[in-house]
Structure 1
């Protein structure tokens, strides 16, 4: 059954609600923690005929349970882990098919930016490079490999990054500079201190992946983007929205307004009544359907709050205070 479902994930140019219901019924049986969670909610999966009634598993379960919807005798091809903070639990995403992840991020990137082969990708992702198990590093490495002309990972080597960006600009390369927020701000500060003006091509993209990771004082997305626009001489700062527990990404081409690829959908839930979905335009907790999560769980309640608009685009407004849903976790401990 799972193989047949996998073949249909990327087949449609629009979100396939019928497929989502089939994936839900499959995971309601195959994923033991999700099955128990649904049972404790008193739901019969076969009576759920509207995706609005699908329950979303709190994403914290990836920290405390093996979220696995593949055959019991199948070993994961890899395990992605979250960064976490010292002493905190980290999420573990057991990935049964790395090929499925590769196809998801390649198609997702292509949906918004065209073929990765057309881009020279420069990455400032130090906090991810300094540990193992990062799904973001896996993604960027493989996107970079599709165009070996320029680019790479630069850790803290701002001198080399500047030289390589300048050379790529002079050669007319199509440039994507992707980085975690604090690393891009550090690089912007370096350019300012050195009196360097980058002259990137007009079609260059600077993309932040969020996160200060305790390295810098938190600032609003708007303030951060203004700083980066001035530093890099671009008209907009793009953003990537992804996480360890998801195999797909949403992208913003500016102003913090994210859009999803066709097999992914975001909605909101009432913060006081988490099983209650909200109408478009209402602020609430974010729920995400990621059909590429076929072998784990595709229906996740994320601990970010935001607004989803009528066309499916969404904004992230920050973390939900007291985000650890320990009451929900205790349901199936």
Structure 2
């Protein structure tokens, strides 16, 4: 069994590799769905000696199977937003403290002491439903600021404009975390010239607006908020960790998370750094579910384990890696 200290104290690539292989063996033994997927790929547990040899479970499995690595009672079920007529992902979390430790430690790693900030959240499409892992995280971070000015906003843009303007003017460090279309809606009401505020977009138009490429989107946001850079958060229902971009769309992972980029035509091979492919995520905090997820995102990996997200696959199934999904 793993302790949090095994995961959140990783400090080198060698230590990450060693821990990831231990997690793989643990989940192969204890996660029936993952073990069956490995068996379909004819992967013998004992033959896996490197990260590149570990099978990555297609993310669609969370729509069709219960992906858990123990028999403990489910404490929290996180669900994806989905669209009309589609199944939603269900992430069954048997120990939510792993999630809390992951996002708290990652925030500290990238942004420092949370009590130095007021956090404002503009996440209407997430607030309007139950089961959002993003809302769970942001709600907890808001409480941890111990700042009475931190809080959620739905469609009360005028209140948010007044609060954001006043806090920034008073020299308060602010993080405004918002779904993309929500931030654009806000800028249609008011433009800003901010000096002490970080704008963090979580991606997604949720069908409310036309999709935009990152460069175009970030230029609109930079111009509208009066900033030189826009931060981004990369996370998903099926994971318990997030990567952050502090600008230019280049994401960094916390020490217990990494990405590999697979060939779009052969899901079991990997492309060189700087080449476009499908993003595979290793999230060692996801110990009680599956730590090795083949996402539907396209991206590029660079040196020092940084990466860029370029979009999503055109088709709902990931070619060459959709065994058992149906």
Q: Which TM-score band applies after superposition, normalised by the shorter structure? A: over 0.9
Aligned to 1:24: 24
> 1:31-71 CA deviation, whole Å, 9 max, x = no partner?
1110001011111112211111001000110000000002x
Matches within 5 A, 1:131-170: 131-147=129-145, 148-170=147-169
Relative to 1, partners in 2 of residues 1:57 and 1:330: Cα closer, same or farther, differing over 3 Å?
Answer: closer
SS at match of 1:266: strand
Aligned to 2:188: 189
Shift of 1:114: 0.8
Matches within 5 A, 1:154-233: 154-191=153-190, 197-200=191-194, 202-233=195-226
Given that 2:265 and 2:320 are in contact with CA atoms closer than 8 Å, whether structure 1 keeps it comes out as no
Shift of 1:199: 4.0
SS at match of 1:8: helix
Number of residue pairs the alignment of both structures matches = 323
Distance 1:26 1:211 in 2: 34
Shift of 1:332: 6.7
Given that 2:301 and 2:308 are in contact with CA atoms closer than 8 Å, whether structure 1 keeps it comes out as yes
Aligned to 1:194: none
> 1:224-279 CA deviation, whole Å, 9 max, x = no partner?
11111111111111100000001100011111111100000011001111001222
Per mean C-alpha deviation after superposition, the further-off stretch among 294-303 and 45-54 is 45-54
Relative to 1, partners in 2 of residues 1:12 and 1:328: Cα closer, same or farther, differing over 3 Å?
Answer: closer
Relative to 1, partners in 2 of residues 1:328 and 1:277: Cα closer, same or farther, differing over 3 Å?
Answer: closer
Matches within 5 A, 1:101-140: 101-140=99-138
Say whether residues 1:307 and 2:300 are aligned partners. yes
SS at match of 1:306: strand
> 1:275-331 CA deviation, whole Å, 9 max, x = no partner?
012221221111110001000000011101110012211111100111324875453
Given that 1:37 and 1:332 are in contact with CA atoms closer than 8 Å, whether structure 2 keeps it comes out as no
Aligned to 1:55: 55
Distance 2:210 2:86 in 1: 21
Given that 2:118 and 2:150 are in contact with CA atoms closer than 8 Å, whether structure 1 keeps it comes out as yes
Match of 2:267 among 262, 274, 277: 274
Distance 1:203 1:170 in 2: 8
> 1:108-152 CA deviation, whole Å, 9 max, x = no partner?
111111121211001110000000000000000111111223121
Runs in 1 of length 4+ with deviation above 4 angstroms?
326-330
Match of 2:96 among 89, 92, 98: 98
Distance 1:221 1:266 in 2: 20
Aligned to 1:9: 7
Distance 1:250 1:48 in 2: 26
Aligned to 1:316: 309
Given that 1:242 and 1:249 are in contact with CA atoms closer than 8 Å, whether structure 2 keeps it comes out as yes
Instruction: Compute the TM-score of the two structures, normalised by the length of structure 1.
Output: 0.94
Aligned to 1:263: 256
Say whether residues 1:89 and 2:56 are aligned partners. no
Instruction: Compute the TM-score of the two structures, normalised by the length of structure 2.
Output: 0.96
Q: Where in structure 1 are there 5+ consecutive unaligned residues?
A: 192-196
Q: Where in structure 2 are there 5+ consecutive unaligned residues?
A: none
Distance 1:282 1:171 in 2: 45
Distance 1:328 1:30 in 2: 22
Per mean C-alpha deviation after superposition, the further-off stretch among 310-319 and 322-331 is 322-331
Aligned to 2:229: 236
Per mean C-alpha deviation after superposition, the further-off stretch among 295-304 and 109-118 is 109-118
Given that 1:33 and 1:332 are in contact with CA atoms closer than 8 Å, whether structure 2 keeps it comes out as no
